[in-house]
Chains A and B, each alone.
Chain A
Amino acid sequence: MIDTDTVAQALRQATAEVFSTMLELEVQAGEPYLQRDVPGMSEGVIALIGMAGTWIGTGSLSMSATLACKLSSRLLLAEFTATGEAISEEVLDAVAELTNMILGNAKNTLEEQLGPMGLSIPTVIYGRNVTTRSVSDAQWVVVPFLCDQERLEVRLCLALSGQPQPVRHGYRPAHCLQF
């Protein structure tokens, strides 16, 4: 079993470090909680990243389009705003990279207990009424944050795989993505 507090602490630490180092922003972490199915957002950005090793699962970062644009503007020193029905490819790419760094660093911490895990290439979705769902019994550890009055959530869902998986460089564990 993974200790929920250990996972939450890894997510909190990684998020704070990425925001502080790359964005020069502070985030306030809220109380972490467990969730089986994640309620859908009315409108926003979700980035998903897979992990695979002896433990397999998915991490995600979700936020409003407004916050995605704010963070991208800070990361890339450019001005981005959500216009009408879409946000730009650059914003989606920036959110993907933030997800990679946050979940990648959380993975580095958790590997000390869980053994090596490979990390997939992130997938970013922008839309309305987006819902994510776990198809296993594993629950998501959710850590909410407030940044500049906007909410973002960092989530991780991990389960022991059936058999030990060899970890290959650049391995894309597509079968681990859970919708």
Chain B
Amino acid sequence: MALDVLIVDDSAAIRKILQRVLRQADIQLGQVHEAADGVEALEKLKTVRVGLMLVDINMPNMDGLQLLTQLKASPELKDVPVVMVTTEGSHSKVMEAVQLGAAGYVRKPFTADQIHETIVRLVV
């Protein structure tokens, strides 16, 4: 079954790069949706269903960890794997994301292989 993905990052450049990386991955990719922050992501998720989310941490309006908290509190969305893709690299930040329910954590800058390996581990 095709995998639909939601990319959440305030940087249009990163959203474009992740789109490209996803198309290169060895998975059956469906629709790729985008949101520029957590608020926009939650709005989008009212009408689309995805099988994976790639989420930045530092974003305006609602950051990635706040979004993660909201997702895990939602019966419809709590089981969607969320991979944090972020410059935040401290051990405490990683642990915080894991404790909130993140399924993966990729630090920027990233290679395509790092994204691919994380996705394949989660969804294949």
Contacts and interface: CB of A to CB of B under 8 A. Distances in A.
Interface in A83-121: 90, 93-94, 96-97, 100-101, 104-105, 107-108, 111, 116, 119, 121
B13 A93 contact: yes
A108 B90 CA distance: 6
Contacts of B20: 77
Interface string B4-25: 0000001111101100100000
Nearest to B69: A169
Interface string B45-66: 0000000000001111111011
Nearest to B12: A93
Nearest to A96: B11
B109 interface: yes
Given A93-B13, A97-B11, A108 B87 contact: yes
A26 interface: no
B19 to A, nearest CB: 11
Interface size class of chain B, counting residues whose CB lies under 8 Å from the partner chain: 20 to 34
A18 B87 CA distance: 11
Contacts of A100: 11, 58, 87, 108
Where chain B touches its partner, the secondary structure class is loop
Interface residues of A, number: 26
A2 to B, nearest CB: 18
Contacts of B11: 93, 96-97, 100
Given A101-B87, A111-B90, A121-B60, A90 B12 contact: yes
B89 interface: yes
A44 B92 CA distance: 37
A139 to B, nearest CB: 25
Given A119-B58, A169-B65, A97 B14 contact: yes
Nearest to B38: A170
Interface of B: 10-14, 16-17, 20, 57-63, 65-66, 87-90, 92, 108-111
Given A104-B89, A169-B66, 9 more contacts: A17-B109, A21-B111, A76-B13, A76-B16, A101-B87, A105-B87, A116-B90, A121-B58, A169-B57
The 6 closest A-B pairs by CB, nearest first: A104-B87, A170-B63, A21-B109, A108-B89, A97-B11, A94-B13
30 contacts: A17-B109, A21-B109, A21-B110, A22-B17, A22-B108, A75-B13, A76-B16, A76-B17, A90-B12, A90-B13, A93-B12, A96-B11, A97-B14, A100-B58, A101-B108, A101-B109, A104-B108, A105-B108, A107-B87, A108-B87, A108-B89, A116-B90, A119-B87, A119-B88, A121-B10, A169-B57, A169-B63, A170-B58, A170-B60, A170-B63
